[in-house]
Structure 1
Amino acid sequence: MSKILIAGAGGAPSEGVIKSLQQDDKKETIIGMGSEPSDLVLSNASKKLYIPYANTPEYKNALLNILNQEKPDLVHFQNDLEIYHASLMRDEILATGTRLFMPDHEVIDTCVHKYKSYLAFKAAGVPVPSNKMINNVSDLEEAFSTLAGDDGKIWLRASSIGGGGKGAIPTNDFMLAKSWIDHYNGWGDFVAAQMLTPSTITWLSIWHEGELVVAQSRERRAWTHGNRSISGVTGVTKVGVTCENNEATEIAIQSVKAVSKKPHGIFGVDMAYDKSGTPNPTEINISRFFTTVQFFTEAGLNMPKIFKDIALYNEFPTLNKIINPLPNELMWLRGMDTPPKLTTASEIDNEIIFP
């Protein structure tokens, strides 16, 4: 029986993958490892292993020790920081006999640094809002004068590795923006951009040696605890809805090919609509599934299964459609300390009594 090691176990992004893999008839052994014991102990993995954070000196030897002791057939990482650092040591990982299914390191480096992604999108002619790297106060002043919309607002966020809308804030207040960057020690890292609308769509895909295997779109209708974030963005979807948007698919494919000549592995293209209704890529979540991947699994598209079947057995899925095979308007609802629910708008209307 094959053995799969999933990093970040206990956290929502990895648990969706673990639960999806455990639904497969092949019943591989799923081991979890993580850096937060209080998260790790909550994991559904059959075995739970502690590992230091990926950006610490201890991480490399700890990971290699785990791989040599456990001898997993495949290891998969579920957060940008660990993906980046594991990618740097991919030769040593492969030398243990453990397989990887991830893009080239250059692709990962481009995608985990948002300004590098922006430059790649722009060079390829993909529609993107104008961005400016903020190295000093003069850059910030120029950003307000050239990027602000009619309401005077710009969008600020960190370019460096990190998800969940790291450091994001929309503001028309120069002094607030300056203080915000000071607070994060973000000069030379923060990027200013033209504002897009709150409407977003995500296109999750698996590629193999340059060929698209499967892709599915979903709109995000709400963020969990978005009203408690200054940006309104938390990186945690509260309501996701399957959808089909041909323009979004075309732009997502262009975005993937902008960062990789031969896409291989997982590419999740996050897009926000501009005022004209055109989807603009804001980032590519590289080599990882998004937090709500269990949504697609419960709806009938088990992407973690497809991923590991290719990596371990060179088995590819048979699908009626490789792009958006799921029905439109399926809804995935999430809340804290309550199981998620797969439903539709009409089912919600039938279940709830409205005055």
Structure 2
Amino acid sequence: MNILFTCAGRRRYLLKYFKEVIGEGGNIVATDMQLSAPALTIADVKIQVPRVYAEDYIPKTLEICKEQKIDVLISLNDLELPILSKCKADFEALGVKVIVSDPNVIDVCFDKYKTAGFIESLGLKTPRTYVDYNEAVAAIKDGELKFPLIIKPRWGSGSIGLEFVDDLEELEMVYKLERKKVMKSILATASVDDNFLLIQEVIKGPEYGLDIANDLKGKYRGVSVKQKLAMRSGETDKAITVDNAKIREIGATIGRALKHIGNLDCDVLERDGEFYVLELNPRFGGGYPFSQEAGVNMPKAIVAWAQGEDVANEMFFPKYGKMFSKCDILLNVGE
């Protein structure tokens, strides 16, 4: 089996996990805008490609699939997901299984305002969220929305453009500045509505990361819950797997309703014993290795499913009480 990772970036561990599954019987192929991307150091084949919004990005990726005889394609970038999702049929015509959910799923997850509405439709809690600046200010003055608040891109990626504000004066200044910043960033192309910033209440309390596993038909299979102990640049830096039935049920509810395929990275915040779902990312997230190292094996499951085989649901539930921490390493990425 040959597996292509697009926008491989820094997710070196994921390529390693999949290589351990397929062994020497197949190739890990990785693409990125820069051949110095850390993840490419573990790939059997590394290829430089244009930016995801370039006109020739999809044709180039299709060409790579043909040349490298790719069986499975996995994207590691939020901004690429809507593009690949709409073009799945082109890849499937080549015999490539694209581990990217359907466009309606990507839309719900990528548009954080729609995410909030979806979560509420399931009877789950989510932070108060506004896309209209004037409505948010009115809610503040009426006492429905209280500081501190967070301003962030509606169609965002990672921690780009996140800012906290503590009063109305700061809200006005930061909101105007963030609008300009987003329009100058890579997020400008993804922002398809004039209301491209969110104003959201801040939930203070323990934070959890969920890896919600669905099979390639969108059927819920299991969930791994980790309590985040430390963060760095918007990613989980230290975490411990926990046995929390309430949060597991939240994950199961989302997985069954959303019908995504593969892994769904989900953030949950706790306040006064209540749990609030913050974001849904239909891909492998930066917190996935904490699940893998605690016994979860989504790469093995994806390879099995792609070959028409099945795996036991126990594969998606971790051993509890396992704590891990990331650390930096230096890689030789070539001349």
- TM-score interval (norm. to shorter): 0.7 to 0.9
Secondary structure of 1:60's partner?
Answer: helix
Partner in structure 1 of residue 212 of structure 2? 205
Residue 291 of structure 1 is matched in structure 2 by 286
C-alpha displacement of 1:73: 0.7
Partner of 1:24: 21
Q: Match of 2:187?
A: none
1:89 maps to 2:84: no
Q: 1:195 aligns with which of 196, 199, 202?
A: 202
| Matched residue, 2:50 | 52
1:166 — aligned with what?
Answer: 160
Deviation digits for residues 162-199 of structure 1, max 9, x if unmatched? 32233222222323222322223266111112221142
Tell me the C-alpha RMSD between the 2 structures.
Answer: 2.3
**Cα deviations across residues 298-325 of structure 1 (Å, max 9, x unaligned)?**
33322222122212x1222235x3663x
Query: Do structure 1's residue 330 and structure 2's residue 322 form an aligned pair?
Result: yes
- Flag the 1:184–1:55 CA change in 2: closer, same or farther, 3 A: farther
Which residue of structure 1 aligns with residue 190 of structure 2? none
* Unmatched runs of 5 consecutive residues or more in structure 1: 225-233, 340-355
Aligned residue-pair number = 315
| C-alpha deviation, 1:212, in angstroms | 2.2
Corresponding residue number in structure 1 for 2:7? 8
Tell me by how many angstroms 1:140 deviates.
4.1
Matched, 1:309 2:304: yes
Deviation at 1:25, TM superposition (A): 5.7
Would the alpha carbon gap of residues 338 and 66 (structure 1) be closer, same or farther in structure 2, given more than 3 Å must change? closer
Contact 1:147–1:194 under 8 Å retained in 2? no
The 1:338/1:245 distance shift into structure 2, 3 A limit, reads farther
Matches within 5 A, 1:214-225: 214-224=222-232
- TM-score normalised by structure 1 residue count: 0.81
Q: CA deviation at 1:329?
A: 1.8
Matched-pair identity in %: 21
Cα distance in 1 for partners of 2:310, 2:319 equals 21
The CA deviation at 1:80 is 0.9
* Change in 2 beyond 3 A, CA 1:338/1:214: farther
Structure-1 residue corresponding to 2:262: 265
Query: What are the Cα deviations for residues 120-150 of structure 1, in whole angstroms up to 9, with x where unaligned?
Result: 111221112221113x4x234224334533x
Structure 2: which 5+ residue stretches go unaligned? Answer: 183-193
> 2:2 touches 2:71 (CA, 8 Å); kept in 1?
yes
Q: Read off the aligned partner of 1:291 and give its amino acid letter.
A: G
CA distance 1:23–1:294, shift in 2 (3 Å)? farther
> Residue 79 of structure 1 corresponds to which residue in structure 2?
77
Distance 1:323 1:308, change over 3 A: closer
